[in-house]
Amino acid sequence: MKIPPDHPRAEVLKIRERLVQGFEDGYVVPQGMIAQGRGEAFDYLIGEKTIPPVREAIKAAAAAFKLAEHPVISVNGNTAALCSEDLVELSEVTGAPLEVNLFHRTEDRVKKIAKVLKEAGADRVLGVDPEHLVRLPNLSSPRAVVDDRGIHRADVVLVPLEDGDRTNALKELGKTVVAIDLNPLSRTARSADITIVDNVVRCVRKITREYERMDQDRARYVLREYDNGRVLARVLDHIRERLRVLSDEAAGAT
Ligand code: ATP
Ligand code: MG
């Protein structure tokens, strides 16, 4: 579909087109498109930009990566379609491998997503080679399949657009979970150690930039001071304040 460049929401439409293309190519699932719609609704509420309290979460994510021994970046169909270049860059800068990890897992989708990542510049993608696949003990298959060189041994896992169940399973195994989720109310957002309430198309490269400018001492300080509950509360306050202003404007306009 050709998007008119002067369309007021051209950016959003372009992002949707990438997902639709991923769907037509057979690696984005229909459930993924529903998730995107839910994400867009929350993006409206935060104002479609990275809001100040979220910058703190982004710094904490960079700090967690800086101090991790085995950080891993989990990739699903939506994130491959939306921001594979940014994920590859984050992986290169931090040394954290990319792992295809799917809720609706099929071999075909796994291979297609690995291909998208390789086309975006990745030289290694975990979660594909059957010889290295193992199951997490506390989840039912096929959601539980992970790579023994990746998520299985990871101490820090970045999970963009994850579901609440798996976030909890990773936490139960003692891993630090960094979630990217536009819905500050989702189970994922509430149970992750660090929750970045932002669109993946905006925030992944911001994590990379923070990582580049942070040293280990600074990272330790950032994590010591970080409180995810406080950040989530400030995100909700931001939405409330924004709605108050919009409500005043709407009342004035009538
Ligand atoms: P949970 O199980 O955690 O309560 P859920 O059932 O809503 O939540 P899923 O549908 O599995 O979770 O995950 C999709 C989540 O990803 C949604 O919360 C949605 O807001 C978020 N999301 C969708 N698109 C984006 C995007 N582009 N950037 C960031 N987050 C997104
Ligand atoms: Mg869910």
Q: What are the start-end ranges of the H helices in 30-97?
A: 30-46, 52-67, 77-94
Assess whether the previous peptide bond of 5 is cis (omega < 30° from 0): no
To the question of pTM greater than 0.85 for the whole model, the response is: yes
Bridging pattern class, strands 156-160 and 145-147: unpaired
Is residue 96 lining ligand 1, measured as CB closer than 6 Å? Answer: no
Choose which residue among 45, 186, 202 to substitute to test ligand 1 binding: the one with the highest number of ligand atoms within 8 A of its C-beta.
Answer: 186
DSSP state of 181: -
pLDDT per residue over 22-41, tens digit each?
999 999 999 999 999 999 99
Centre of ligand 2 to C-alpha 192, Å, is 14
Is residue 193 lining ligand 1, measured as CB closer than 6 Å? Answer: no
Residue 160 · residue 200 · CB < 8 Å = yes
pLDDT of residue 254: 65
Ligand 1 atom with the shortest distance to the CA of 34: 10
**Which residues sit opposite 139 in a β-bridge?**
none
Angle CA 162–167–169, to nearest 5: 140
pLDDT of residue 102: 92
Q: CA–CA separation, 8 vs 71, rounded Å?
A: 39
pLDDT per residue over 75-126, tens digit each?
999 999 999 999 999 999 999 999 999 988 999 999 999 999 999 999 999 9
Six-digit token string for 145 = 């399949």
pLDDT of residue 11: 83
The least confident of 34-48, 104-118, 134-148, 190-204 is 134-148
Residue type, 52: P
Q: CA–CA separation, 25 vs 242, rounded Å?
A: 38
Is residue 45 lining ligand 1, measured as CB closer than 6 Å? Answer: no
Is residue 111 lining ligand 1, measured as CB closer than 6 Å? Answer: no
H-helix or E-strand spanning residue 4: none
DSSP state of 29: -
pLDDT band for position 138 (cuts 50, 70, 90): confident
Choose which residue among 181, 204, 205, 232 to substitute to test ligand 1 binding: the one with the highest number of ligand atoms within 8 A of its C-beta.
Answer: 181
pLDDT of residue 2: 76
